[in-house]
Amino acid sequence: MIEFYSENNFDLSEQDEVSDWIKLVINSEGYTLGEVSYIFCSDEYLLQLNEDFLNHDTLTDIISFDYSLGKEINGEIYISIDRVTENSSLYKVPFLEELHRVIIHGILHYCGYKDKTDEEATLMRQKENEALSKRNFL
């Protein structure tokens, strides 16, 4: 099950379509869906989580807590709408494209992809682009 929550006034459109797309990506990576919660929030909210749980004093667009069990994907994904908005402007892409990239980025982490090294980040970006190409909505 995929659920969407908001700690601010953001409301994700096309939740059913986004959920179906996320499930498609999970299945294409050889995993199954357990329970994933997305929480949309502000920079301040996510910064507090970053400080409290990761001891990082920096802004970020996403923090994910992975509770997966074997090949079953479970977790909480927190997304700063402020960061997504700023990054969409910075990278000159539509807001929804950047949001969907961040949404699937968390799932790809749960599927074992990392992004700490340049090589890992390149593969992660390839997997994000592959996932974005599977969207059949918008």
* Per-residue model confidence as pLDDT tens digits over 30-78: 999 999 999 999 999 999 998 888 777 888 899 999 999 999 999 999 9
Residue 105 annotated as binding? yes
Residue 115 annotated as binding? yes
Where do the structural domains in the chain lie, given as residue ranges? 2-132
Q: What is the mean pLDDT of the chain?
A: 94
Tell me what pLDDT residue 138 has: 60
Give pTM, 2 decimals.
Answer: 0.92
The residue among 69 and 137 whose pLDDT is bigger is: 69
- The CATH class, in words, for 2-132 is alpha beta
User: CA-to-CA distance for 23 and 4, rounded, in angstroms?
Assistant: 14
Residue 52 annotated as binding? no
HEC secondary structure over 91-106: CCCCHHHHHHHHHHHH
